Chain A
Amino acid sequence: DIQMTQSPSSLSASVGDRVTITCRASQSISSYLNWYQQKPGKAPKLLIYAASSLQSGVPSRFSGSGSGTDFTLTISSLQPEDFATYYCQQSYSTSPTFGQGTRLEIK
C-alpha cells in the first residue's frame, strides 16, 4: 500500500488568505495525485487531477503542484465557500489510497 500523509491535519485561516496544504507519498508516485474537497454531509468533489490539472468548473484560485513524493494544494485567496476538508489521493497504483484529510476552518 502507498501511504499518503497530509499536513497540517487542520488549519485556521481568514477570507482572503493564501493557504497551502501538503501531501506526501510513502514512495514516488510521479504526478499521479488528485485533490478533493468535501463539505459536511456532502460527497467529495474533484478539484485537481494529475497533480496540477484543474477540473472543469473549479475556480482558478485552486492550484496544485508537485511530483514524486511531495505535493501541494494552494488556494490563492480564500473564499467563504472554501472552508471544508481536503483530501489527496494517489492514482499511481491500481489500489488508490487517500490522505487522512486537512480540515480548513474559519479563523
Chain B
Amino acid sequence: QVQLQESGPGLVKPSETLSLTCTVSGGSISSYYWSWIRQPPGKGLEWIGYIYYSGSTNYNPSLKSRVTISVDTSKNQFSLKLSSVTAADTAVYYCARQLIIAAAGKYYYYMDVWGKGTTVTVSS
C-alpha cells in the first residue's frame, strides 16, 4: 500500500521560498508521475505541477515562473519549491501519485493516492 507524507516548514515569510518534500513509502517512486496540489483555506483545489520519476516536469501556467519540482529516486522523494511567496500562497499543500492508464485506445490520468496534506502559512 503506497503512502505519501508531506514535510516542511509550516510558516514561511513573504518573498521567501516555500520548500516541501513528499516521501513515498510502501512502493517505488519509479515509473510514475507525482503531483503537487494546494487548497487555500475554505477554497477549492489547485494543481501546481507534476514530475515524472525520470525528472521531466509540467507546471501550472499561472505558477510556472515561481515553481520548481524535483525528484530524488534514491530517497524515494520528490520536492516542491515555490519562490517569492505572498499571503495568497497560504494553503494546505498535498502531494499525490498521478496514475496513467490505457483504455479503449486512450490514455487517462488521475490522482489515486494522496498525502494527508501539510498547512503552509505565509506571514511575517
- State the A residues within 8 Å of B (CB): 1, 30-32, 34, 36, 42-46, 49-50, 53, 55, 87, 89, 91, 94-101
Contact = CB atoms under 8 A, between A and B. Distances in A.
Contacts of B46: 98
B94 A43 contact: yes
What secondary structure prevails in chain B residues at the interface with A? Answer: strand
Contact-residue size bin, chain B (C-beta under 8 Å from the other chain): 20 to 34
What secondary structure prevails in chain A residues at the interface with B? Answer: loop
Closest 9 CB pairs of A and B: A43-B114, A49-B110, A98-B45, A34-B110, A50-B108, A96-B47, A91-B109, A101-B44, A100-B44
A103 B102 CA distance: 32
A45 B114 contact: yes
Interface string B58-95: 10110000000000000000000000000000000010
